[in-house]
Amino acid sequence: MDFISVKEAFGRAGEVALRGWCSRVRTQKNIVFVVLRDGSGSIQVAFKEGDVSADAFKRASELTVESSITLTGAVRKDDRAPGGYEVQGRTLDVVHVAERFPIVKDKSPEFLLDVRHLWLRSEQIANVTVVKDTLMSAARDWFRKNEWFETTPPIITASAAEGGSTIFEIDYFGDKAYLSQSAQMYLEALIFPLERVWAITPSFRAETSRTTRHLTEYWHLEAEAAWLDQEANMRVQESLVSAMAQAVGKQCAEQLRALGRDPADLLKIKPPFKRITYDDAIEILKKKGMDVKWGDDLRTEEERALVEGEEKPIFVTNYPAHIKAFYMKLNPDGKTVACADMIAPEGFGEIIGGSQRSEDIEYMKKRLKAEGANLKNYEWYFDLRRFGSVPHSGFGLGIERVVRWFCKLEHIRDATPFPRTLNRFYP
Ligand code: NSS
């Protein structure tokens, strides 16, 4: 008999062959209950003395948590079983008897991170991983439908895109190189042959603050387009994020509910998103009694206050130039830049940073000098302004930030299977 998946077994009548892992094993007098897990879900299997051979019953009674097995049996409706169906086991083959599984109830979060390679088998991480798969796939579909090209920028780089303070340095055969913080500058180069380009790459940030929204390695979705001004840039972002939310809301309803997120919350995410200027944001925050002044960067508390009562993300636009990166286009007021951060509802904070790019080499040099950057490493980037420079814009979206928001996760580390944080890169 051909193996079918657990998902296919639900609602099926008659004999099936299944294979997977025993996520739970419970023995009663003459019956062994196993919760069988495979890549598609879990189903209860009952091996009853008399229904199976004496040998098979003995093997069933010796099963341990996470043992791998193959079996045949008959699916039948059983309201007492989780999911409403149960398999009555007929035959059982044990592929591997697992050693004593170290994860039992009430283990500390630190311990669970130490055994992350095993903890991955938990339902929660599996559900999050399915959501992540769905939203990345939805993003890819969106770009293809709208005729953007997916590209492959490098990870080993010579210059910092987002400032020297959070950059990982590596030894490159005796030279200094850096792990990419952002593919932006490379995507900017790629707009000249292709106009609309995007990429998903790992980005690295040597973040020394311990927060629930920073990883030192994360997946970064970035897009860049020629002839796109900042207003059109925001329209791209709201359309893309809405498409991701719609796909997850529709295709992952079951996973979302298990994670404590109502899928209806995501189905409400549709353009347009509200836009407020940084100037207005400061006034709003002051009225709420918060201690902020013009020129301060917005912290988590302030972002949370700004989205109070909102169901959709909002854009905060036109931040002061001095708290933003050197490459953002200066507005005519000479003080602010043509940029926007997209802030997720419910206090999940910034999920996108984007801007129109400066075309003024002297301005960018001045900014970089003030940061103490080595201008030599940016010569190639300035070339992009020397040979057919055009107005252009782009943005970067933190995949794990969006996963955290969609899945309502306390901590961003649960948005990725092997989180890298300030004090952890094992396993
Ligand atoms: O620093 S950003 O705000 N902007 C850039 O890197 C631009 N160069 C992107 C571009 O225009 N192409 O980072 C963009 C997003 C930010 O909004 C977060 O969602 C995410 O990247 N981000 C992070 N996610 C997880 N962990 C960390 N440490 C992190 N830093 C940024």
Residue owning the nearest CA to atom 18 of ligand 1:
398
**What's the mean pLDDT in 276-295?**
98
Regarding whether 143 and 250 lie in a shared domain, the answer is yes
Residue owning the nearest CA to atom 23 of ligand 1:
398
401 lines ligand 1 (CB under 6 A): yes
316 lines ligand 1 (CB under 6 A): no
Residue 187 alpha carbon, nearest atom of ligand 1 = 12
In a domain? residue 210: no
230 lines ligand 1 (CB under 6 A): no
Regarding whether 196 and 59 lie in a shared domain, the answer is no
Instruction: Choose the residue to mutate in 178, 190, 350 for probing ligand 1, maximizing ligand atoms within 8 Å of C-beta.
Output: 350
In a domain? residue 171: no
pLDDT the model gives residue 11:
83
In a domain? residue 160: no
**What's the mean pLDDT in 375-388?**
96
162 lines ligand 1 (CB under 6 A): yes
Look at the chain and report how many structural domains it folds into.
2
Regarding whether 60 and 124 lie in a shared domain, the answer is no
161 lines ligand 1 (CB under 6 A): yes
Regarding whether 284 and 255 lie in a shared domain, the answer is yes
Regarding whether 260 and 120 lie in a shared domain, the answer is yes
pLDDT the model gives residue 162:
87
CA of 344 from ligand 1 middle (Å) equals 14
153 lines ligand 1 (CB under 6 A): no
Residue owning the nearest CA to atom 29 of ligand 1:
214
Residue 159 pLDDT grade (very low, low, confident, very high; cuts 50, 70, 90):
confident
Task: Give me the CATH number covering residue 86.
Answer: 2.40.50.140
340 lines ligand 1 (CB under 6 A): no
352 lines ligand 1 (CB under 6 A): yes
Residue 223 alpha carbon, nearest atom of ligand 1 = 12
pTM for the structure as a whole: 0.97
Is residue 175 within 8 Å of 389, Cβ to Cβ?
Answer: no
Regarding whether 132 and 82 lie in a shared domain, the answer is no
Domain residues for the domain of 47 are 6-96
Instruction: Choose the residue to mutate in 203, 209, 214, 329 for probing ligand 1, maximizing ligand atoms within 8 Å of C-beta.
Output: 203
Residue owning the nearest CA to atom 17 of ligand 1:
352
Residue 106 pLDDT grade (very low, low, confident, very high; cuts 50, 70, 90):
confident
**What's the mean pLDDT in 13-42?**
96
Q: Long-range contacts of range 4-10, CB-CB < 8 Å, 24 or more positions apart?
A: 5/38, 5/39, 5/40, 5/41, 6/36, 6/37, 6/38, 6/40, 6/41, 6/42, 6/43, 7/40, 7/41, 8/40, 9/43, 9/75, 9/85, 9/87, 10/41, 10/43, 10/75, 10/83, 10/84, 10/85
CA of 403 from ligand 1 middle (Å) equals 14
pLDDT tens digits for 36-85?
A: 999 999 999 999 999 999 999 999 999 999 999 999 999 999 999 888 99
pLDDT the model gives residue 398:
98
CA of 204 from ligand 1 middle (Å) equals 10
CA of 102 from ligand 1 middle (Å) equals 36
CA of 148 from ligand 1 middle (Å) equals 20
In a domain? residue 175: no
CA of 328 from ligand 1 middle (Å) equals 14
Task: Please provide the average confidence, as pLDDT, over all residues in the chain.
Answer: 96
Residue owning the nearest CA to atom 11 of ligand 1:
395
Regarding whether 237 and 333 lie in a shared domain, the answer is yes
Residue 355 alpha carbon, nearest atom of ligand 1 = 11
Regarding whether 72 and 130 lie in a shared domain, the answer is no
400 lines ligand 1 (CB under 6 A): yes
Residue owning the nearest CA to atom 20 of ligand 1:
398
Does 314 have pLDDT greater than 90? yes
Task: Give me the CATH number covering residue 307.
Answer: 3.30.930.10
pLDDT the model gives residue 209:
85
Query: Which single residue is written with the structure tokens 């005796």?
Result: 174
pLDDT tens digits for 193-250?
A: 999 999 999 999 999 988 999 999 999 999 999 999 999 999 999 999 999 999 999 9
Does 1 have pLDDT greater than 90? no
Regarding whether 24 and 141 lie in a shared domain, the answer is no
Residue 222 alpha carbon, nearest atom of ligand 1 = 12
Regarding whether 380 and 267 lie in a shared domain, the answer is yes
Regarding whether 136 and 19 lie in a shared domain, the answer is no
pLDDT the model gives residue 82:
87
